[in-house]
Amino acid sequence: MMATNDFEAQAVAMRDQLVARRREFHMHPEISFEEVWTAGVVADALRDLGLEVQTGMAQTGVVAVLEGEKDGPTILVRSDMDALPVLEANDVPYASKIEGKMHACGHDGHMSVILGTAELLQARRQELAGRVKFVFQPAEEVGQGAMRMVEEGALQDPKPDYAIGLHLWNELPVGAIGLDSGTVMAAVSNFDVEIKGVGGHGGIPQETVDPVVCASHIVTALQTIVSRNVSPLDTVVISVTMVKAGSAHNVIPSRASLHGTLRTFTVETRDKVVERMHTLCESVAAGFDCTAHVNVEHHTKPVINDEKLVERARQSFDALKLPGWHYVTTRTMAGEDFSEFAQDCPGLFFFVGSANAERGLNYPHHHERFDIDEASLPTAVALLSAAVFDLLKDGPSNGK
């Protein structure tokens, strides 16, 4: 019987396979809910491992179950699959072959890592007491894929006892592992503010009600929510990212609109901020004789790590004795719809450093030149395999 720390050697041995698979995904990016080719490659790889595979969930989602030799808990292991509508600027042999689409967030690496993990765990199936439910979801980038999969039964037959996910993270260098309990990623909401005034001649402003001036004051006023309505010990981001108005230099328009993102670490704070946004936008607009309508759409809940599950994972990671790797506190206002899978069971989401500044592989996520140091792939496989294996090796009472 092999020890948990053998996963590092096994993962390193499959490095070429992990890199090749990641690059294949990178060259063929598909955006949210269009991951048809991607899902086909994933499903075929899982079938080749002898797993029972379900396709077509949430349009392009893939689910496969690995049954252990004995009964025990069910662990959901999740990967995202979608790319972004970004024109790649990298000059590499594996650059995107699809104009205007790019894996600019690391999902290509995630799929390679999860498939590698499935291979290692399948090889040790006889040592597992329980099962692993591999979920490959579409549309993470638009915050809709996980919810759709949950609605269509991804958490049923079997229902998971734990949910685990990871992110290759260019905010951390290779050699760093982000592992913390509590909230590690934010709840994400988008907002739109439609402002109505009275348009007219740009040289005769007294005959108009200018929505552009009103919009400018609303942008400034929204920042006071963070500074004056939220505790300094809480965490909130309100960013107006688009301002739209007008069609000519000499015309004051009758309408203007603001669009942006809201990030919080708790749903309670999110709801308080949204209430304040409605009041503030409507009141400021009224002060300028305009009207304002606020619409907020919630996309993801906060990602919250279970304290006991984090401690178990830390023990598993420590047992690997990875050379040169260390822990880094990692919390971010970026969001992840992995949170949908961990609403009714303990969840674990960790970060694997993937940046290498010396090689120019440190561009941020969603950048046109985003790329990762592929040395992170075997490490991610070893970490994930160890965490899952240790939760299943002792049977139903393990980790409870």
**Per-residue tens of pLDDT for the chain, all 400 residues:** 566 669 999 999 999 999 999 999 999 999 999 999 999 999 999 999 999 999 999 999 999 999 999 999 999 999 999 999 999 999 999 999 999 999 999 999 999 999 999 999 999 999 999 999 999 999 999 999 999 999 999 999 999 999 999 999 999 999 999 999 999 999 999 999 999 999 999 999 999 999 999 999 999 999 999 999 999 999 999 999 999 999 999 999 999 999 999 999 999 999 999 999 999 999 999 999 999 999 999 999 999 999 999 999 999 999 999 988 999 999 999 999 999 999 999 999 999 999 999 999 999 999 999 999 999 999 999 999 999 999 998 654 444 4
Q: Binding site annotation covers 167?
A: yes
Q: Is 367 assigned a ligand-binding role in the annotation? A: no
pLDDT at 295: 98
Q: How far apart are CA 340 and CA 322, in angstroms?
A: 31
What's this model's pTM, rounded to 2 decimal places? 0.93
Cβ neighbour number for residue 324 with a 10 Å cutoff = 8
Q: Would you state the pLDDT for residue 2?
A: 60
Q: Which two tokens stand for residue 254?
A: 């009758």
pLDDT, position 396: 46
Is there a binding annotation on residue 290?
Answer: no
Contacting residues for 146 by C-beta, under 8 A, at least 6 apart:
78, 137, 140, 337, 338, 339, 340, 341
Q: What's residue 400's pLDDT?
A: 44
Q: Which residues of 335-369 are buried (b: 16+ CB within 10 A; e: fewer)?
A: bbbbbbbbeebbbbbbbbbbbbeeeebbbebebeb
Right CATH for 186-300 from 3.40.50.261, 3.40.50.970, 3.40.190.10, 3.30.70.360: 3.30.70.360
Q: Where in the chain is the domain with CATH 3.40.630.10?
A: 6-181+306-392
Confirm if 270 and 226 have CB atoms less than 8 A apart: no
211: which residues sit within 8 A by CB, 6+ positions away? Answer: 195, 196, 197, 245, 253, 254, 255, 256, 290
Residue 228 is predicted with a pLDDT of 94
CB 362 within 8 A of CB 90: no
User: Using CA atoms, how far apart are residues 75 and 133, in angstroms rounded to an integer?
Assistant: 6
Which residue ranges does the chain devote to CATH 3.30.70.360? Answer: 186-300
Can you give the pLDDT at residue 36?
Answer: 98
Domain 6-181+306-392: top CATH class: alpha beta
* pLDDT given at position 393: 87
